Amino acid sequence: MIKRGLDIKLNVKPIFLGIVHKFYYEGPCRFAKGEALTPEYERLMQEELRPQFFKDVEDHMPDCVNLLKPVSAECHDDWVVPEELFDEITAEEADAYIISGGIARSAVLIELGERTGKPVFQDPSIFADLTAVTAALRARGLEAYGCRTWDEIATQMRVLRVRKVLRKAKILLAVRFDSNASKSGNDTFVSLNHVTEAFGTHFRFLNLHELIDYLEPMPEEGNYTTPGRTDTPNITAEEIEKAEALADELLAGADDVHVEREFVVKSCKAYVEICKLLELHDCCGFTAPCPDFCSTRRANESQVTFCLTHSLLNEQGIPSACEYDIDAVLSMLILETISGREAYMGNTLPLVFEGGSLRPQKRFNIKDIADVKDLHNLMTTSHSVAGRNFRGIGGKKASYGLRHFAYDQGFGAIMRYDFTQDKGQKITLCRLSPDCTKIFVGSGEIVGGGDYDVDNCNCYVVYRVKDQDDFYEKQCYVGNHVPLIYGDYTKELKLLGKALGLEVLEA
């Protein structure tokens, strides 16, 4: 099945550790008077504190957290830690623990971290143990977070959920020549094995020629590339009807249409088939090569491109990238999971200001930003893979247009989005480095867009960054396609970089 990053939850175990002294006495660790020094009084206090802690946890955990069965235990001043306590805590597989502890309970937290290797959070109202236990665990090479507020805890939980998503992700790759890179995607990951080692992500490979065969019902003698096989997942007559219905829906809903229905149907057939293959291989992301595919002449023969597939997948939170850019797929998976918004990927280029004006650039028309007075620090991102859910996956879809990719023959349906309507919108950009050692985190503000009414591989957004020199210098460590989302998620991405052990390149 397709299990999106948005469908994965972080399993968190709440644990309340109360303290009850067995006898009445005073000393350097007890500061109370009268009955407050009795075990009975302390038990009453725990009965009040326990439900409040569990309520705080429930009230402040983000939607991406799945709370496991809470555990409550009484600790004593004889320092005995029964094995049954650890058995109860670890009975369910947790991704992280959130604990209310304190003095005389620190050893339990530290040993739990040592036993499980899982992240440990503490109630932010805990006194000095907040820093003490965090430091003790980190000194042992273990993961601990000394968050000062419940909001900080929620943010860090969302970040750890993204890390879990990367670990569980499987990406479907359509391969022609090289399973690591396409003829145009030289800046993707150097080694997929290294990606698995660094992030836990796995990959499923599919021969590009077999994929193209799947776009038509299987002939009686089998596909051209696999003659005699009758078990191949070719598109069926029923699925073609589904593609036709989707094409009609898209055509009816578009603000303007400049592509023939037959070509929209063909692109929708590709989308339906890719969805089927994602289900078959239990994958949550997809990419296919562009020049490698084009040079076979089978794109021209089948009159299809994967542009519309990328648009329709991304607007559902299923990362899908052009040009076999596996790096972009993972970067989009990060962005879509952390934000719940559709990511947009494409050629990310600086608009160079020199000699008092912007230097002419391919696929950019300065007339599209005629109302922009300050032409410094501008960047563009352009590709024909815009969608309708930039403001939120699952929400109301934005208006759009439909055009075609191929100038001459008119095939390859592409979706168009008018970025000029979003002037002033804050955006966040992200891309992993090819060697899996860095994460680029950028931010900007949309000032315009263009090529809404042009065919082929374009449709761009223009945005202003703080310092183009700095942005571009750091981009050169990560590559061309730098995916973006609407909103400011720079804090979360920087925390993710830290959680993944990556150097953060912020611009």
Q: What is the pLDDT of residues 30-68, one digit of tens each?
A: 778 778 778 887 788 888 899 999 999 999 999 999 999
Same domain as 262, residue 133: no
Spatial separation of the C-alpha atoms in residues 467 and 339, rounded to whole Å: 24
One domain for residues 107 and 238: no
Whether residue 205 is found in the same domain as residue 232: yes
Q: How far, CA to CA in Å, does 230 sit from each of 215, 275, 277, 362, 392?
A: 15, 20, 16, 47, 41
Name the domain boundary from 130, 164, 198.
164
Q: Give the pLDDT confidence score for residue 400 in this predicted structure.
A: 98
| Same domain, residue pair 27 and 151 | yes
Amino acid letter, residue 186: N
CATH code of the domain covering residue 16: 3.40.50
Mean pLDDT of 377-402: 97
Average pLDDT, integer, range 402-406 = 96
Predicted structure pTM score: 0.96
Residues of the domain holding 27: 5-164
Quick one: tokens of 35? 């009955």
What's the domain count of the chain?
A: 2
Please report the pLDDT score of residue 282 as a whole number: 97
Residues 210 and 243 in one domain: yes
The verdict on 415 and 266 lying in the same domain is yes
Q: Are residues 142 and 189 in the same domain?
A: no
CA distance 424 to 422: 6
Are residues 302 and 391 located together in one domain of the fold?
A: yes
Burial 247-262 (b: 16+ CB within 10 A, else e): beebbeebeebebeee
Q: Tens of pLDDT along 485-495?
A: 999 999 999 99
Mean model confidence pLDDT for the chain:
95
| Strands, E assignment, 277-394 | 285-287, 320-321, 347-351, 353-354, 357-358, 378-382
